[in-house]
């Protein structure tokens, strides 16, 4: 890793919510339960969010991978993410791609690959940031059956660490792609804009991604069977840098 970030990367302003969000996000998530219940509709997918050293972004950052369980060395989605606190208290998470994604494939599971990620490999994804806000109520899109009783609790997860920011925090964080319909993704001969929603709790990640034609506003891609629901199976919260 570079010893210090580029001058364009400004320091993160800490907030209890940003720290708690980072702790909850840092982990490995699996939709195995959902896939087992309906394998014809939902493939088994794993999502990883590995914390990056503080010096990489001069603040909280993550490397992420999303891959099918049967082919973890060929992730279909990779990114680097920098967390920033906005004036209204929401957490703005910038998204970056990679010039050659396969060079860093596997970094979610191999520390040597993770440590080799450099700034000059990053490619900005304009207008594709996610904005998270603390919430108490579950959003409509993620209202699914309650988790099975035998799923591990947050304290039982490998590497789990209790949140230390504030006495009583929110029950969840709701994320949406930044306003403006500017996150453009070419798909199936169409220019589409991304509509992404996330419902994050201490032990679950529920997400729905859809793409809409920029001209007709018609949905072109995205699950018609509802959101993907992931359970946290491993925590990486202990890898987060000390609070600034």
Domain locations in the chain as residue ranges:
7-125, 133-143+169-223
In the numeric block, the tokens 């970094």 are attached to 107
Q: What share of the chain is helix, strand, coil (3-state, %, to 5)?
A: 20, 35, 45
Q: Which CATH code fits 7-125?
A: 2.40.128.590
243 pLDDT band, cuts 50/70/90, is low
Determine the pLDDT at residue 13.
Answer: 56
Mean pLDDT of 58-86: 95
71 pLDDT band, cuts 50/70/90, is very high
Higher pLDDT, 154 or 25: 25
Determine the pLDDT at residue 49.
Answer: 98
Local structure of 83: helix, strand or coil: strand
Q: How many other C-beta atoms are found inside a 10 Å radius of the C-beta of residue 112?
A: 8
Mean pLDDT of 188-195: 95
pTM listed for this prediction = 0.84
Mean pLDDT of 3-17: 52
Determine the pLDDT at residue 59.
Answer: 87
Roughly how many angstroms between the first and final C-alpha of the chain, as a whole number?
A: 19
Closest CA to 176 of 122, 109, 128, 104: 128
Residue 183 has pLDDT above 70, yes or no: yes
Mean pLDDT of 203-225: 94
What is the share, in percent, of the chain residues with pLDDT greater than 70? 82
In the numeric block, the tokens 């009583």 are attached to 168
């Amino acid at each position: 890793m570079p010893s210090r970030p580029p001058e364009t990367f400004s320091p993160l302003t800490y907030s209890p919510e940003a720290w708690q969000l980072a702790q909850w996000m840092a982990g490995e998530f699996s939709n195995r339960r959902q896939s087992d219940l309906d394998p014809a509709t939902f493939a088994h997918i794993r999502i990883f969010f590995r914390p990056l050293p503080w010096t990489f972004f001069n603040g909280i950052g993550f490397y992420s991978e999303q891959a099918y369980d049967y082919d973890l060395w060929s992730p279909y989605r990779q990114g680097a993410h920098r967390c920033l606190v906005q004036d209204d208290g929401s957490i703005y998470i910038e998204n970056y791609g990679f010039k050659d994604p396969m060079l860093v494939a596997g970094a979610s599971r191999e520390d040597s690959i993770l440590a080799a990620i450099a700034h000059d490999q990053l490619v900005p994804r304009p207008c594709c940031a996610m904005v998270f806000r603390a919430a108490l109520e579950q959003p409509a899109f993620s209202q699914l059956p309650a988790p099975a009783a035998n799923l591990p609790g947050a304290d039982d997860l490998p590497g789990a660490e209790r949140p230390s920011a504030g006495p009583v925090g929110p029950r969840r964080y709701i994320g949406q792609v930044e306003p403006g319909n500017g996150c453009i993704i070419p798909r199936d001969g169409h220019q589409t804009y991304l509509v992404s929603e996330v419902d994050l709790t201490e032990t679950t990640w529920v997400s729905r991604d859809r793409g809409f034609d920029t001209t007709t506003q018609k949905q072109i891609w995205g699950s018609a069977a509802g959101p993907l629901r992931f359970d946290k199976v491993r925590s990486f919260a202990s890898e987060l840098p000390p609070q600034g």
